[in-house]
Amino acid sequence: MTIVVIGLGNDLRRDDGIGPTVARAVAPKVGPDVQTVASGGDPVALLELWAGADLTVIVDAVICDPPRPGVVHRLTPAELDAMRAGMFSTHGISLNDAVRLGAVLDRLPRRMVILAVEIADLDDGRGLSPAVGRAVDAVVSAVLSEIGAPSERVV
């Protein structure tokens, strides 16, 4: 089974770094059969990363109105499409648009799960806001649960 974990975001835009932060935290907890990647959201790179995978888990920051920083939404691509009116991507091309492009080009994984973390702070700079920072452990556990990995890897 091919599994890919993608943390979308930009570490230099505060809460937008939640995806890469989670990807880095997941990497040492999984075996070599799970690919973990921090990605800036380039659609071509995403298509290459997830094409043909059995399972892709994506962690991404979303802006909601009203914001509830740290709240995590578990979504399928269809649910992401349905929620787009209340959620806004932090990327030039939204994850939803990248998924649609992947569908048209037949470059999707067999199954995709999106863990969308609500954020509020997109200022320049490193470090997550306290509310989003408190969500990291829960999101890491959610990723490990989705891929069927134990929450703590015994070395």
- Residue-wise pLDDT for 47-98, tens only, equals 888 888 999 999 999 888 888 999 999 998 888 766 654 445 555 567 777 7
- Helix, strand or coil, per DSSP, at residue 155: coil
What is the residue extent of each domain of the chain? 3-147
- Helix, strand or coil, per DSSP, at residue 117: strand
Closest-CA residue to 56 (of 45, 66, 71, 65): 45
- Report whether pLDDT(46) > 90: no
Please give the CATH topology (third level) of the domain spanning 3-147.
Answer: Rossmann fold (3.40.50)
- Predicted confidence at residue 36, as pLDDT, reads 96
Q: What is the pTM of this model?
A: 0.86
- Predicted confidence at residue 59, as pLDDT, reads 96
Please list the helix, strand and coil fractions of the chain in percent, rounded to the nearest 5, in that order: 40, 25, 35
Largest CA distance in the chain: 44
Q: Annotate 16-32 with DSSP letters as a single string.
A: GGHHHHHHHHHGGGS-T
- Predicted confidence at residue 107, as pLDDT, reads 77
